[in-house]
Structure 1
């Protein structure tokens, strides 16, 4: 009796173990130009999705022989346009570099505003003195002090 139960269980375990494939091997089947449905058939649902500037970004996280992999597939108009490791922008286009450039530009703008403010203040003082006539030397009589 035990033999009749053990043989089917043993056969099922062999069949199921043969169906397991490496996620890395499955991921290597994904190519640029594939549609979303094809990628879903191969890889299954992604762990993370993002939509940015009309592009979908799917991230898959999996382990193969105790090594952690994070891979991405980018889609534009339902077709894969990028397949590979996590995409990072160029160093010059990163948020940190852009913030640093913007901070430098803001410092330059602030110093220019300060210079313009001083120039305008001096121009206004000059205009005021001309309007009041204080910029011209007037004849002042000299008085002899009384003794």
Structure 2
């Protein structure tokens, strides 16, 4: 089940979940697209991801550049997979999952253990994955005991 949640997190993340930040960052460099048209480049999305991660994880300048390269490569690979497998969603999900796992391993090599733990915790919060404490508490809606209603 983790793989589905991972995909649900990574796909929007790499696809531009930080679109607002990307637009703010890119607004200084180029004019805004016409109303209703949303176009962001691979670099814009990678920069937005990196910009969000930098203060949240307290990245050093050296880490920022490494993380930006990892994010750029991952976003580029997701875009290539989207083009290649747009007619085969099953294969696309598999490739995106592989890209996400590779990104995670690369980030693990760049971040300190404390930063990586913080990154994982924030990632799990965004994905809605219950923590070990939460898993022992109240079940998600609809999954409670029938006699408790």
Q: TM-score, normalising length from structure 2?
A: 0.20
The structure whose residues are more often helix, as a share, is 2
Structure whose alpha-carbon radius of gyration is higher = 1
The structure whose residues are more often strand, as a share, is 1
Higher relative contact order (CA 8 A, sep 6+): 2
Q: TM-score, normalising length from structure 1?
A: 0.20
